A and B are shown apart, each in its own frame.
Chain A
């Protein structure tokens, strides 16, 4: 499979495979001229915001940052709310295990920026903010270059912002705080940003991939867009597959594609399970992965959420209990330390889970008690995402958990987490 190797990861090279749309023709490079030649035949974009919303609804385009909120609804809400709308492209990607937005911004930045222009023009916005991750300098450089290339041609001015280097920096309320000149941390919001966001103006904020999908829709039209994927979930989706360090991979696949062969193509396997959806994701046991397809509904049926498309497979011989303890330790350190239950509860939870993993306790009671104590008690969903991975661990791996509670481990290799592992 052809592709490119780029510095899109937080501290790793990432393999980006050629894909059917967003990641097509990677060998042509990220430049504006070649991009314009390819999209020269672009169809006229709908004149009105209402038509834009209809088109987005026709392909059921949902946010690709994890929350899966329909973009058409954000557009409609912004249109009927008071004030001139603002568009925000969120490529902050604070999760170290995810690289798909960073990769997209490096290999096909103009697709994302076209999409942002199209949405901004549709809703009558005069401002586009583009937010890139602080801990990935190569992405900042690529987007800066892309913006400079097209500055004269764009009808809506675009401004680049660099998020802080932390997990929660890409959370939507944290992004709006950054844009408002305040610390880049999540806050309690009383109203959706599409009604009242930045400076009280209606703000359409979505993930970088979402805008690229909108640009593809504009270029190809609804029928062609729907020629890939399934009837219920048309089009494609970006995934990040990271199977313990050797070869973190970003790829684009049509909805409905079987996951297992994709893992193999990324030099990974899920013989010990799969943490689906990233660090805030859901553990699936190996048998649940065999026939799994890339589909939000299929994954919901399996008890998981596709989130931002991060797949963290666990190789044979590695232990999901220990791995979760490591991930939760990291997540506890990534609390913004603003909300009490998160600030105090997550470190306590990480400690309790570590005790379980090293066989120091005989019951998971304390872990469960602490999960109950932190859930739904914060400005953002960082505590909820953290407990999601632990609750799914207890559900998917009861035998493995029991082994740890009796001081042993079922995994063949009980060595520490390998170097370079997620």
Chain B
């Protein structure tokens, strides 16, 4: 489910902070899955209908390693 309007937010991982806890992928499986070492593989552009979930994923990260950049 991708909304038609262009994304105005981008997800970014601060790689040296990320410890691979994986909560982001639990909350936002539409955009984030985990690689074989349990580190996030992120679809950067956030469709508008997923902005709330993206924010929840950012807040949930125990290492504050997931960020949203406004475009």
Contacts and interface: CB of A to CB of B under 8 A. Distances in A.
Interface stretch (A107-115, A212-220, A251-259, A334-342): A334-342
Contacts of B35: 341, 373
Interface size class of B (residues with CB under 8 A): 10 to 19
B37 A338 contact: no
Interface string B4-15: 000000000111
A2 interface: no
Interface residues of A, number: 16
A345 interface: yes
A192 to B, nearest CB: 15
A373 B41 CA distance: 8
A379 interface: yes
Contacts of B14: 188, 379
Contact of B37 (A187, A336, A340, A378): A340
Interface in B1-54: 13-20, 35-39, 41
Contact of A373 (B16, B19, B20, B36): B36
Given A188-B14, A378-B15, A379-B15, A340 B36 contact: no
Interface of A: 185-188, 336, 338-342, 344-345, 373, 377-379
Which 8 residue pairs of A and B lie closest in terms of their CB atoms, listed nearest first?
A339-B15, A340-B39, A344-B37, A338-B16, A379-B16, A188-B14, A378-B15, A379-B15
Interface of B: 13-20, 35-39, 41
5 contacts: A187-B16, A340-B20, A340-B37, A377-B13, A377-B15
